[in-house]
């Protein structure tokens, strides 16, 4: 059993000196997360003020994680707004406080009937899901300042990038002996590997990410969707014959493995043939052949994503990640499983298996209540709906600073490159400026002094790789 859960139980049932003594000796673990949990457990028993004083003492004696009273207040305040927001916008969802200052549990109403079964265990999906707000606040903020497109400079800059990483992005790359023949690897990746990022943070204004859910057919969102600056679609989602529901515009399309192999069919979905195609997985010889021989003129890239753990593996979340890395604001359509859902359907085909719809729905609600996205669905048809109780900018800012300390992602506030765990200089003189006239994008580039931030995947050790200009 988890230490903090034990402590929680003890704190609420037994206040004897002996138990206290045990609890205090457990603080030997220097990890701030543990300390937070302990503090939280004790706070339940002895009131918050005492604990704040106690915690200040703990952080002093445990050196430099530097979690202050203000930091804890920021986390408490974030969670409190977050809980109100979920209540006000979640259509029956509720966020309960978890085991520490960071954790929340998002719960569906008890009368929700889960329909999805784990194909391996046969178990029905549960009705409550744990999320870590600290992790979410810190990671998503990072995404907004990063590029999510794989580039050559990124592979070049990784320690042993060609030997350790490049082959993983090539189908059957395992046979390439860690890119022993780099020319061959480069050849396979060349058609989808720009030298530097084709997009910069906040390059675009309002973006819409369109899922494939059948509930899109219950409303006519088409016109509304076409009003966005950028529309991002997924896999084989058709446009023709459905424009009333899903709009006509299509700027980007994110592809999983299966759809990417049918690249020739996918390019036909957008009649302008200008859609940018983003492949989530690997480049395949079949795709290279199609791009060369058909030929396919749409830009095609591989996506580079942050690690969000098991909560977030689907194409939908990757599409949101990409959108957040290039847009000011992100709205989502066609993803939700609203109360009373019968089964997971697609707007263009019969129902299908899908995966963990309730978990996904809860995760998206968390994103909405962290001010990252806005959800549109048949039950939220008003385009001007205000998401109530979204934590304010200043609350989010303070909570992010606190979260970075809790997660030990130390960075100095004044240093725009403070988040970089690895810094490399560009070979090329300058990134082609694609920012156009958007002021916020230019400002951001100035703030980071022309650097590009790349998320490092879990296998490479997390963190951020920063490419800084030549000079």
Ligand X SMILES: *[C@@H]1O[C@H](CO)[C@@H](O)[C@H](O)[C@H]1NC(C)=O
User: Residue 307 CB, nearest distance to ligand X (Å)?
Assistant: 16
Site for ligand X in 290-309 (CB under 6 A): none
CA distance 82 to 104: 9
Residue where the block lists tokens 């409550």: 128
Pick one of 126, 385, 447, 461: the residue that binds ligand X (CB under 6 A): 447
Residues facing 206 on adjacent strands: 329
User: Residue 345 CB, nearest distance to ligand X (Å)?
Assistant: 16
Tell me if 184 contacts ligand X by CB under 6 A.
yes
Site string for ligand X, 141-160 (x = CB under 6 A): xx--x---------------
Pick one of 13, 25, 183, 353: the residue that binds ligand X (CB under 6 A): 183
Q: Which is nearer to ligand X, 223 or 268 (CB)?
A: 268
Per CB under 6 A, which region of 113-121, 181-189, 355-363, 364-372 contacts ligand X?
181-189
What is the Cα 289 distance to its own chain's centre? Answer: 32
Site for ligand X in 334-373 (CB under 6 A): none
Site string for ligand X, 8-47 (x = CB under 6 A): ----------------------------------------
Q: What does DSSP say about strands 103-107 and 128-132: parallel, antiparallel, or unpaired?
A: antiparallel
Per CB under 6 A, which region of 8-16, 123-131, 176-184, 338-346 contacts ligand X?
176-184
Site string for ligand X, 47-76 (x = CB under 6 A): ------------------------------
Tell me if 419 contacts ligand X by CB under 6 A.
yes
Q: Which is nearer to ligand X, 187 or 223 (CB)?
A: 187
User: Residue 241 CB, nearest distance to ligand X (Å)?
Assistant: 4
Tell me if 412 contacts ligand X by CB under 6 A.
no
Pick one of 13, 16, 241, 384: the residue that binds ligand X (CB under 6 A): 241
CB half-sphere exposure, 222, CA atoms < 13 A: 13
**Please, which residues have CB within 8 angstroms of residue 120's CB and are 6 or more apart in sequence?**
none
User: Residue 417 CB, nearest distance to ligand X (Å)?
Assistant: 8
Tell me if 441 contacts ligand X by CB under 6 A.
no
Site string for ligand X, 199-238 (x = CB under 6 A): ---------------------------------------x
**Please, which residues have CB within 8 angstroms of residue 57's CB and are 6 or more apart in sequence?**
none
- CA diameter of the chain: 77
CA distance 298 to 191: 11
Angle at 313 between CA 32 and CA 176, to 5 degrees: 105
Tell me if 288 contacts ligand X by CB under 6 A.
no
Q: Which is nearer to ligand X, 140 or 364 (CB)?
A: 140
Pick one of 79, 284, 359, 444: the residue that binds ligand X (CB under 6 A): 444
CA distance 69 to 71: 5
User: Residue 144 CB, nearest distance to ligand X (Å)?
Assistant: 6
Pick one of 177, 240, 272, 351: the residue that binds ligand X (CB under 6 A): 240
CA distance 35 to 100: 9
Per CB under 6 A, which region of 73-81, 179-187, 291-299, 350-358 contacts ligand X?
179-187
Judged by CB under 6 A, the number of residues near ligand X is 13
User: Residue 283 CB, nearest distance to ligand X (Å)?
Assistant: 15
CA distance 1 to 7: 10
User: Residue 325 CB, nearest distance to ligand X (Å)?
Assistant: 11
Residues contributing to the site for ligand X (CB under 6 A) = 141-142, 145, 181, 183-184, 187, 238, 240-241, 419, 444, 447
């Amino acid at each position: 059993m988890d230490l903090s859960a034990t402590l929680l139980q003890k704190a609420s049932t037994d206040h004897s000196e002996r138990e206290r003594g045990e609890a205090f000796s457990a603080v030997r673990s220097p990890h701030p997360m543990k300390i937070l949990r302990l503090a939280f457990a004790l706070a339940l028993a002895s009131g918050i003020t005492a604990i704040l004083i106690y915690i200040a003492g703990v952080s002093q004696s445990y050196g430099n994680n530097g979690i202050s009273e203000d930091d804890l207040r920021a986390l408490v305040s974030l969670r409190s707004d977050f809980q109100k927001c979920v209540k006000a916008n979640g259509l029956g969802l509720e966020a309960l406080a978890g085991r520490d200052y960071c954790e929340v549990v998002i719960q569906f109403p008890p009368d929700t009937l889960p329909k999805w079964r784990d194909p391996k265990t046969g178990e029905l999906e549960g009705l409550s899901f744990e999320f870590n707000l600290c992790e979410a606040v810190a990671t998503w903020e990072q995404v907004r300042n990063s590029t999510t497109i794989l580039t050559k400079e990124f592979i070049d800059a990784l320690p042993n990038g060609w030997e350790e990483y490049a082959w993983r992005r090539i189908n059957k790359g395992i046979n390439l002996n860690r890119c022993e023949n780099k020319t061959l690897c480069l050849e396979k990746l060349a058609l989808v590997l720009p030298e530097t990022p084709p997009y910069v943070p906040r390059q675009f204004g309002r973006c819409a990410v369109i899922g494939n859910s059948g509930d899109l057919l219950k409303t006519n969102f088409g016109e509304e969707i076409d009003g966005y600056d950028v529309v991002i679609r997924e896999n084989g989602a058709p446009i023709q014959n459905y424009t009333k529901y899903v709009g006509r515009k299509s700027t980007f399309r994110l592809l999983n493995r299966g759809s990417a192999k049918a690249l020739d069919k996918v390019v036909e979905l957008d009649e302008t043939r200008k859609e940018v195609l983003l492949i989530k997985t690997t480049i395949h010889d079949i795709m290279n052949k199609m791009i060369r021989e058909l030929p396919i003129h749409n830009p095609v890239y591989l996506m580079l994503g942050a690690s969000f753990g098991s909560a977030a593996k689907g194409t939908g979340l990757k599409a949101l990640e990409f959108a957040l890395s290039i847009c000011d604001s992100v709205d989502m359509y066609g993803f939700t499983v609203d109360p009373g859902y019968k089964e997971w359907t697609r707007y263009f085909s019969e129902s299908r298996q899908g995966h963990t719809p309730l978990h996904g729905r809860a995760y998206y609600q968390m994103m909405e209540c962290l001010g990252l996205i806005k959800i549109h669905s048949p039950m939220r048809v008003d385009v001007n709906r205000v998401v109530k109780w979204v934590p304010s900018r200043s609350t989010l800012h303070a909570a992010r600073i606190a979260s970075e300390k809790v997660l030990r992602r130390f960075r100095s506030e004044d240093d725009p490159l403070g988040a970089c765990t690895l810094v490399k200089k560009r070979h090329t003189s300058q990134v082609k400026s694609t920012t156009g006239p958007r002021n916020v994008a230019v400002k951001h580039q100035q703030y980071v002094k022309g650097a590009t931030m790349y998320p490092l995947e879990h296998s490479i050790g997390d963190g951020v790789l920063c490419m800084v200009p030549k000079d």
